[in-house]
Structure 1
C-alpha cells in the first residue's frame, strides 16, 4: 500500500546538546518523510528555545500545525531523558486545528474557552481537544472549565500543563498554525483532533483513601481555609505529622506536601489535589486546582506498586478504549511530582513497564505540572496522575 494511504503516528526523540539539532533530528525521526497533520512537541527547559521550535517546523516542511511545551523531562520507547520529543500524526482521516492564547492576555476561564474554540473547525466522527496549559497558574481548573464550556460533555479534553524542571520560574509553549512559529511564555494552547477512527483516554494514579472523609467548609479556588470547620493547615499538620519548622519553610513544606495530597471525591473515584503551600497567618493550605466548598476530601496514601504501574495502567486503558481499532500511537502526560514519590529507580521502572505494556505501539510522554482529562468519568484537572490518549 502507498504510504500516503496509511494513517500513522510517529515519535522521534533526541538528546543532542544543541537544541536546534535535537529538534530537527527528533522531527525527522517522527516523520520518516511523511507529511504530518499535527505535531506535538515536548522539550526540556534546556531545549525549549526559539531555535529548536523553528528547526522542528522547518524539518516538517515549514507549513505544519504544531503545538508543544516545555517539560520537566520526557520519555519515549527509547527511554527517558532531557531533550526533544516530537510526536507526529498523519494520513487519511485525520484533521486538526490549533489555537494559542498568551497567558497574560485574559483570565484562565476565557483562555481555556479560546483555546478549545479550535474545535469549531473540526467535523469528524471522533474528536478530542488537546490542551497544553501553564504549570504555574494557580487555578488550573478554570482553564478546563472554560474549555468545557466550548467542547461540552461529548468531546473529551486531554493534555497537561507545561513544566520547567520544577523550578517555578516560567514555562514556554511552541505554536504554529502554518508558516509562522511562536514561542510563548506561560501560555495556553489548544489542538482539536478529528479522526475517522476512535480516540481512547486512560487515567490512573495509584493513590488510595486514608482515614475519614472531611468536608471542605471554606475555600476559594485552590486555597482551602477550613476542613470540617477547623483551620485547614491545623488539620493537615495534625493528620500528616508535618512539624512546625517545615510549615515555616516554604521549600521544605513543598517537598513534604507534594507527596501527601488530598483526594477530591468524584463519582468514579478521586481527583488528586496536590498541596504546595501553607499560609501561617490565615492557617490555610493551597493547591493548583479548585477544591470547592461543600466537597468531600480524604488524605491520600501511596500504594507503591500501583504508583509504579500508573503510567502502564493509563496507557493500557487508553488502548483498550479504542476497542477493535488498531492503536497507532499514544500520548502520555505524567505528573512531574510522581518522580519524587517514585525516586530515580522507581521512575525508571515505571517507564520500563509502560514500554512493556504498549510494545510495539509508539508513544511519547512528558512530566507535567498538572494533568488534564475531562471525560464522563474524570472531571478535569488532576495531579500526581497519569493520563494517556491513544490514537487509532
Structure 2
C-alpha cells in the first residue's frame, strides 16, 4: 500500500499527481480515491483512470481527507494497493434497483477472488440511506467468512450531493464495491468513544432513514428535549447542526452500542434524518468529548492491529465519521491523525471523513456512524 496526495486546484492535475505518487512506478491491483467535493468529480475520475495504468479505480467525495499524518479538506488522496499477494475486483450497484440489490451487485467482485483472506470495501452514496439493506445485500453474496468495511461518501456537510467514482466516471446514487483478496491477514478495528446519557427512547414512526416520531412525539422536538438543546437549534440550521453533530443516537447491539449520527432535520414536519434506525427501535441519546472520542481512536487501532495476529501491517485505510471530526476540532484532528500515524509505524495511513461507516466482522449487521473504522492489511 502506498499513498499520494495533491491539493492542486486543477482537477486533472490533482488526480494525475496523486495517482502517480501512489503508484511510484509500480503496477497496482487497485487504486482508491478520496476527493474533496470542491473538485469536479468527472474530471477527477477521467484523469485518475488514465494515470492508473489499467488498474481499476474506485473512490468517492468526502467530508475531509486523511493522509500524510494529517486530516483536513481540499485534497485528492490516492491509495494504491498491489503486490504479488493481493488481488482486487471492482463492481457497482444502482440504488434505483433497491438498496439490497445494489449491495449485492457491489459485492459481485468477491466471486472471482482466490486468495485465502478476503474483504469487501463499500463506498455507498452518503445521503441515500438504507445502508443496513446495502450491507445485507453484500452479506448475501459474501457470506459469513467475508469482512465488510467502508465509508459513505460525503460533501463537507452541505447535504446536497455525494459522488462515487467507478472507473473513469463519477456517479451519484450508486454503491461502489472493491473486493480484495490477500495472502496476508486483513483486520478491522472499530471505536467511537460515545456513551449513553439520559433515558431510552422508542422510535414510534420511521421509514428506516427518516424518523417521524419518537415516543409518539414529533421526532425533532423529542430529540431537542432529550438532549437539552438551545432554543436556536429548533429553527436555525447552523445552530441545529452544531448541536446535532455532537449528540448522536446509540442502538443496543451485542458487544456494545452502534452509533447513528443525526444528519439533518426537516423543520417543517419536525422529522429527523438519521440513517438505519428501524421503527420500533429503542435508542439512547449519546454524548462524548474530545478525550472520549480519542479513546475510541485507540480502541479502533488496537482492534485492527490485533486482528493481524502479529503480522506487521503494510497499511491502514481509515473511515472516520464527520461527526467525530466536528467534536475533535482542528487541534483534535491533528492529534488523532498524528496518533494513528505513530501507531502505524512505517505503514501508511490514508482515508476520509464519512457520512457513516461499514464494519461487519460477524453477523449480517455492520452499519455505524460517528465511529472510526480501520482496515488493516497485513
Task: Name the TM-score, length of structure 2 as normaliser.
Answer: 0.92
Higher strand share: 1
Identify which range, 335-344 or 209-218, moves more after superposition. Answer: 209-218
Query: CA separation of 1:154/1:75 partners in 2, compared to 1, >3 Å: closer, same or farther?
Result: same
Identify which range, 183-192 or 47-56, moves more after superposition. Answer: 47-56
Query: CA separation of 1:49/1:225 partners in 2, compared to 1, >3 Å: closer, same or farther?
Result: closer
Query: CA separation of 1:280/1:200 partners in 2, compared to 1, >3 Å: closer, same or farther?
Result: same
Task: Tell me by how many angstroms 1:124 deviates.
Answer: 2.4
Query: CA separation of 1:227/1:185 partners in 2, compared to 1, >3 Å: closer, same or farther?
Result: closer
Q: Specify which of 13, 19, 24 is matched with residue 21 of structure 1.
A: 13
Contact 2:135–2:364 under 8 Å retained in 1: no
Q: Distance in 1 between matches of 2:26 and 2:299?
A: 31
Q: Specify which of 349, 352, 359 is matched with residue 366 of structure 1.
A: 352
Q: Specify which of 334, 337, 340 is matched with residue 326 of structure 2.
A: 340
Task: Tell me by how many angstroms 1:127 deviates.
Answer: 0.7
Q: Distance in 2 between matches of 1:83 and 1:302?
A: 29
* Secondary structure of 1:69's aligned partner: strand
Query: CA separation of 1:232/1:43 partners in 2, compared to 1, >3 Å: closer, same or farther?
Result: closer
Q: Specify which of 130, 151, 156 is matched with residue 142 of structure 2.
A: 151
Q: Distance in 2 between matches of 1:309 and 1:319?
A: 15
Query: CA separation of 1:79/1:245 partners in 2, compared to 1, >3 Å: closer, same or farther?
Result: closer
Query: CA separation of 1:277/1:80 partners in 2, compared to 1, >3 Å: closer, same or farther?
Result: closer
Identify which range, 233-242 or 347-356, moves more after superposition. Answer: 233-242
Query: CA separation of 1:168/1:226 partners in 2, compared to 1, >3 Å: closer, same or farther?
Result: closer
Contact 1:316–1:358 under 8 Å retained in 2: no
* Secondary structure of 1:64's aligned partner: coil
Query: CA separation of 1:380/1:85 partners in 2, compared to 1, >3 Å: closer, same or farther?
Result: same
Partner of 1:4: none
Contact 2:206–2:212 under 8 Å retained in 1: yes
Partner of 2:209: 222
1:194 aligns with 2:194: no
Contact 2:155–2:161 under 8 Å retained in 1: yes
Q: Distance in 1 between matches of 2:31 and 2:298?
A: 23
Q: Distance in 2 between matches of 1:252 and 1:186?
A: 29
Contact 2:221–2:234 under 8 Å retained in 1: no
Aligned 1:102-113 pairs, distance under 5 A: 102-103=94-95, 105-113=96-104
Q: Distance in 1 between matches of 2:364 and 2:197?
A: 21
Aligned 1:105-124 pairs, distance under 5 A: 105-124=96-115
Contact 1:308–1:347 under 8 Å retained in 2: no
Contact 1:162–1:368 under 8 Å retained in 2: yes
Partner of 2:61: 70
Query: CA separation of 1:377/1:311 partners in 2, compared to 1, >3 Å: closer, same or farther?
Result: farther
Q: Distance in 2 between matches of 1:280 and 1:65?
A: 43
Task: Tell me by how many angstroms 1:116 deviates.
Answer: 1.1
1:259 aligns with 2:246: yes
* Secondary structure of 1:165's aligned partner: coil
Task: Tell me by how many angstroms 1:309 deviates.
Answer: 4.2
Partner of 1:167: 158
* Secondary structure of 1:212's aligned partner: coil
Tell me how large the CA RMSD over aligned residues is.
Answer: 2.2
* Secondary structure of 2:311's aligned partner: coil
Aligned residue pair count: 377
Task: Tell me by how many angstroms 1:236 deviates.
Answer: 1.9
Q: Distance in 1 between matches of 2:307 and 2:160?
A: 37
Query: CA separation of 1:373/1:175 partners in 2, compared to 1, >3 Å: closer, same or farther?
Result: same
Q: Distance in 1 between matches of 2:200 and 2:67?
A: 38
Contact 1:124–1:195 under 8 Å retained in 2: yes
Q: Specify which of 133, 138, 160 is matched with residue 142 of structure 1.
A: 133
Contact 1:257–1:276 under 8 Å retained in 2: yes
Task: Name the TM-score, length of structure 1 as normaliser.
Answer: 0.89
